Amino acid sequence: MSRLVVQMQTSADGYVEAADPAVQWQLWDWGPNWPWDEELKRDFNETFRAVDRILLSRKMVEQGYIDHWARIAESHPDEPDFAFAGRVGDAEKIVFSTAEGGHFRWPRTRWAAGGLAETIARLKAGPGADLIAFGGTGFAAALASAGVVDEYQFYVNPTAVGRGESLFRSVAGGLRLTLARSKSYACGMVVNTYTPRGQANP
């Protein structure tokens, strides 16, 4: 049985998106200049070795996620730090949307067949390694609300934003979490990994 991992960068005060878009709160903006320390880079790459399918929102794809990492993989073909970019290209990419629209021009990329919870249950039960999800706040919140996430990996940046969007904004009654592990890094990032225990107030 495969697991679904949701990986998100968060602010120190727990937001995954700042209310003020001008606030530069992430240590790394996913560009070529990477201020994470070497240990964090290695651990981040290790996460990708355990997955072979990536779940994406349509918005994420339209904003250039696949093209971006294809360019990074092409420009850093032999650099271990960017091995994950090659994995993005190699992995099967499954795109979720309320409206399907044509064929994708990228290999190993397809639309999700069916509803969110139904499709993810089928993917978990089928062959393959773990799944990892990337998307905007809305997509991640929908996954949390549907109760299909097996592990949350929060990359906590050393910046507070004051106000913003929560990943758990649509989870009725709250969600109890168990801290599986926590690790701090020289660059100031702390990675907290949680597994869900169920609703706080069912």
* Entry pTM: 0.92
- Separation CA 200–CA 81 (nearest Å): 39
Is 173's pLDDT higher than 90?
no
Is 151's pLDDT higher than 90?
yes
* Across 18-46, average pLDDT: 92
What pLDDT, on a 0 to 100 scale, did the predictor assign at position 87? 93
* Across 134-138, average pLDDT: 87
Residue with the larger pLDDT of the pair 199 and 61: 61
Is 132's pLDDT higher than 90?
yes
**In the structure, what pLDDT confidence band is assigned to residue 202 with cuts at 50, 70 and 90?**
very low
Tell me the residue type at 135: G
What pLDDT, on a 0 to 100 scale, did the predictor assign at position 100? 66
What pLDDT, on a 0 to 100 scale, did the predictor assign at position 25? 96
Is 127's pLDDT higher than 70?
yes
- Residue 154's Cβ-count burial label (10 Å; 0-12, 13-18, 19+) is buried
What pLDDT, on a 0 to 100 scale, did the predictor assign at position 65? 92
- Separation CA 107–CA 120 (nearest Å): 21
**In the structure, what pLDDT confidence band is assigned to residue 200 with cuts at 50, 70 and 90?**
low
Residue with the larger pLDDT of the pair 33 and 43: 43
Q: What percent of the chain has pLDDT over 90?
A: 77
Is 114's pLDDT higher than 90?
no
- Separation CA 115–CA 120 (nearest Å): 8
